[in-house]
């Protein structure tokens, strides 16, 4: 069975679009942190490419695609220029950026799971790498910016869970031999919808039962 049911050119441009949108979030964080243009480019590159680089190194797909296709490398640089000159306008369309980010999350969790499975990993490991592909860049971005990764913060709307849902559905479809262009896009759409619902209704993961934390509670509405 063809592990990549989409036309390769279509898949390539979907990847570029996802990288670009993720890179915008990295560049915007750099602006908020008062980084210079080099710092903006670094955070944009790390956010857009970090998850895919980690996945490719783990599965032995070397050199990673980011180093063999300059389009992957250039997309974050274009995002950096875009944010450098237009960041006030970009901030104002943050809700639209969140929608595109959710779409990138859905596409990347599915693509990461598929690629890991193609390289011989089991279903559980493939799901883990699907999650890493979708969320790894954001974790690296936050670490470099000296912030607690959003993935680990209770006051951020669900991010890992939608990626896990999409990656798990992809793995189950692979296991049943039912993965095709339609079902692949359905898995990506499921992750996309769960993420949008989390943003709309403020869904968050539960914290420890009967916790006694000394960490100061964030102000209401401070979630992503």
- Interval 19-55: pLDDT, tens: 998 899 899 889 889 999 999 999 999 999 999 999 9
Residue 182 counted as domain residue: yes
Element of type H or E holding 204: none
| Domain membership flag for residue 143 | yes
As a whole number, mean pLDDT of residues 131-153 equals 90
Alpha-carbon torsion angle 34, 138, 198, 21, nearest 10: 80
Q: How far apart are CA 152 and CA 174, in angstroms?
A: 29
pTM of the model: 0.84
Instruction: Check if the beta carbon of residue 85 is closer than 8 Å to that of residue 28.
Output: no
Domain assignment present for 110? yes
Cα separation of 181 and 179, whole Å? Answer: 7
Total domains in the fold of the chain: 1
Considering the domain boundaries, does residue 62 fall inside one?
yes
Residues 6+ apart with CB under 8 A from 131: 109, 112, 160, 163, 164, 167
Does residue 213 lie within any of the structural domains?
no
Q: Is residue 218 part of a domain?
A: no
Mean pLDDT of 120-148: 94
Q: What is the model's pLDDT at position 221?
A: 43
Q: Which domain holds residue 26?
A: 8-201
With beta carbons less than 8 A apart as the criterion, state whether 41 and 80 touch. yes
How many CB atoms neighbour CB 160 within 10 A?
19
pLDDT (tens digit per residue) in 169-197? 999 999 999 998 899 999 999 999 999 99
Residue 154 in contact with residue 207, Cβ under 8 Å? Answer: yes
With respect to residue 119, please indicate whether it lies within any of the assigned structural domains.
yes
- Is 179 domain-assigned? yes
């Amino acid at each position: 069975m063809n592990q990549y049911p989409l036309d390769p050119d279509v898949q390539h441009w979907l990847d570029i679009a996802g990288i670009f949108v993720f890179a915008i979030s990295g560049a915007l964080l750099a602006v908020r942190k008062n980084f210079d243009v080099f710092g903006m480019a670094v955070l944009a590159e790390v956010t857009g490419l970090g998850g895919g680089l980690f996945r490719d190194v783990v599965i032995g797909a070397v050199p990673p695609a980011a180093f063999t296709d300059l389009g992957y490398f250039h997309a974050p640089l274009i995002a950096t220029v875009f944010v450098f000159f237009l960041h006030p306008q970009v901030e104002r369309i943050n809700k639209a950026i969140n929608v595109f980010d959710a779409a990138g999350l859905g596409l990347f969790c599915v693509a990461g799971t598929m690629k890991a499975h193609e390289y011989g990993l089991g279903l559980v490991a493939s799901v883990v790498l699907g999650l890493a592909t979708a969320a790894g860049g954001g974790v690296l971005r936050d670490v470099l910016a000296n912030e607690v990764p959003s993935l680990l913060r209770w006051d951020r709307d669900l991010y890992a869970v939608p990626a896990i849902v999409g990656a798990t559905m992809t793995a189950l479809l692979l296991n049943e031999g039912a993965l095709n262009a339609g079902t692949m896009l359905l898995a990506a759409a499921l992750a996309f919808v769960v993420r949008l619902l989390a943003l709309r209704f403020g869904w968050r993961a539960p914290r420890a039962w009967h916790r006694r934390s000394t960490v100061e509670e964030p102000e209401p509405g401070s979630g992503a």
